[in-house]
């Protein structure tokens, strides 16, 4: 099965600082998804990366997938208290026909932003 390791497990930053969260896979990533979860709530989709070397940005968040498609990073620029939450990476396996094709998730990175 595909294992996703996220680092760090938790992070406390001062408001305004930049930060990076990493997601590493034991196998090639066919699709890498980043979600944000607030405590006790659902998962909010942030970005999806599918091609080696791909980079996407939305507001102050940038996600990259490396050329080998085994590692992704999520970078937040000038962090704000609203960025606080748990960031999860999820991965697609290769296409399996009509079989499950579910995402598997990393353990999450808990981000706190101090005002």
Partner 1 sequence: EPEVTQTPSHQVTQMGQEVILRCVPISNHLYFYWYRQILGQKVEFLVSFYNNEISEKSEIFDDQFSVERPDGSNFTLKIRSTKLEDSAMYFCAGRQWWGEKLFFGSGTQLSVL
Q: Please, which residue, 37 or 77, has the CB nearer to partner 1?
A: 37
Q: How many beta carbons lie within 10 A of that of residue 52, not counting itself?
A: 13
Residues that bind partner 1 (CB under 8 A): 30-31, 33, 35, 40-45, 48, 50, 88, 90, 92, 95-96, 98-108
* Shortest reach from residue 81's CB to partner 1, in Å: 21
Q: Please, which residue, 40 or 115, has the CB nearer to partner 1?
A: 40
* Shortest reach from residue 75's CB to partner 1, in Å: 21
């Amino acid at each position: 099965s595909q294992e996703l390791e996220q680092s760090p497990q938790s992070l406390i930053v001062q408001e305004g600082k930049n930060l990076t969260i990493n997601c590493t896979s034991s196998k090639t990533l066919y699709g890498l998804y980043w979600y944000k979860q607030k405590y006790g709530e659902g998962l909010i989709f942030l970005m999806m990366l599918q091609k080696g070397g791909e980079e996407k940005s939305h507001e102050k968040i940038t996600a990259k997938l490396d050329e080998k498609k085994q590692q992704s990073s999520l970078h937040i620029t000038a962090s704000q208290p609203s960025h606080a939450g748990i960031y999860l990476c999820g991965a697609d396996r290769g296409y399996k026909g009509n079989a499950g094709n579910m995402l598997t998730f990393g353990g999450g990175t808990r981000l706190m932003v101090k005002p």
